[in-house]
Structure 1
Amino acid sequence: MLEIFALISLCQKLAAIAKEKGRTKAWAALGALFWFLGEIVGFVIGEVMGLGMGGYLVAIAFACLGAYVAYTIVKALPEAPVSVTPAL
């Protein structure tokens, strides 16, 4: 349950950062995508290592790593170019 709250908070933060930079809020989906991909990869690695329930902790660690990567990518986005139309 705490995972869901963390994921919602992450997506809201990413959407706010993207909007601040003049981008769409769709960049928040990157956070959810990287979170779930990290969790799946971490789970597979934990199972291959034979950690049993410890594999869940590895999955959560990889999910946090995915969230950090998504945050870094969105934070590094340049400001959206402003299109200026000449006055007639």
Structure 2
Amino acid sequence: MLEILAIIALCKKLAAIAKEKGRSVGWAALGALFWFMGEVVGFVVGEIMGLGLGGYLVAIAFACIGAFVAHTIVKALPEAPVAVTPGL
């Protein structure tokens, strides 16, 4: 349950950052995607290392790394170009 709340908070934060930069709030999906992919990769790594239940901790650590990478990407987005319409 706490993990779901963390993903929701991450997506809201990423949406706010993207909106502030004039970008689509769809960038928030990057956070959820990176979280889940990090968790899957971390679980596989933990299982390969033979950690058993410790594999879950590795999965959560990789998920946090994925969230950090997504936050860094959205934070690094340039401001959206503003279209200037010529006056009449």
Is the structural similarity TM-score above 0.5?
Answer: yes
Q: Which amino acid aligns with 2:34?
A: F
Provide the identity percentage.
81
Q: How far apart are residue 64 of structure 1 and its match? A: 0.1
Q: Which runs of 5+ in 2 are unaligned?
A: none
TM-score, structure 2 normalization = 0.99
Structure 2 equivalent of residue 50 of structure 1:
50
**Number of aligned residues:** 88
Deviating beyond 2 angstroms after TM superposition, the runs of 4 or more aligned structure 1 residues are: none
Structure 1 vs Structure 2 CA RMSD: 0.3
Hey, what's the Cα distance between the residues in 2 that align with 1:19 and 1:4? 22
TM-score, structure 1 normalization = 0.99
Hey, what's the Cα distance between the residues in 2 that align with 1:2 and 1:52? 22
